[in-house]
C-alpha cells in the first residue's frame, strides 16, 4: 500500500465518522467568523451564555455555506468580525 492511498483512506474514514457539533438553537447562534486581515471565513456557533465560539467548517464558497446550513438545519447565519 502506498503512503498516498493510505492517507486518502484515513481521510475518508475520518470524514465519514465525524460527529456534528451538538447545536442547540436555544443556547447557540449560528455565525460565520470573518477575519478582517485574511478574509478567512469559519462557520460555527457562538454561545449565547458566554460568547465563546466553536468553529466547525471553513467556508470557501457559497456551496460550503449551503452545506453548513443543510447539515445544521439553520436558515439565518450572521457574520461576526
Q: Report pLDDT digits (tens) over 51-68.
A: 999 999 999 999 999 999
Positive or negative, the CA dihedral 37, 40, 42, 43 is: positive
Overall average pLDDT of the 30-39 stretch = 96
Domain boundary assignment for the chain: 20-80
Quick check: 50 pLDDT over 50? yes
- Which residues touch 1 (CB under 8 Å, ≥6 apart)? none
Beta bridge partners of 43: 32, 57
Amino acid at each position: 500500500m502506498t503512503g498516498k492511498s493510505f492517507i486518502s483512506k484515513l481521510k475518508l474514514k475520518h470524514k465519514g465518522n465525524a460527529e456534528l457539533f451538538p447545536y442547540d438553537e436555544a443556547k447557540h447562534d449560528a455565525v460565520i467568523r470573518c477575519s478582517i486581515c485574511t478574509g478567512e471565513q469559519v462557520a460555527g456557533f457562538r454561545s449565547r451564555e458566554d460568547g465563546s465560539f466553536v468553529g466547525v467548517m471553513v467556508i470557501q464558497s457559497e456551496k460550503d455555506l449551503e452545506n453548513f446550513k443543510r447539515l445544521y438545519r439553520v436558515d439565518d447565519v450572521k457574520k461576526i468580525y
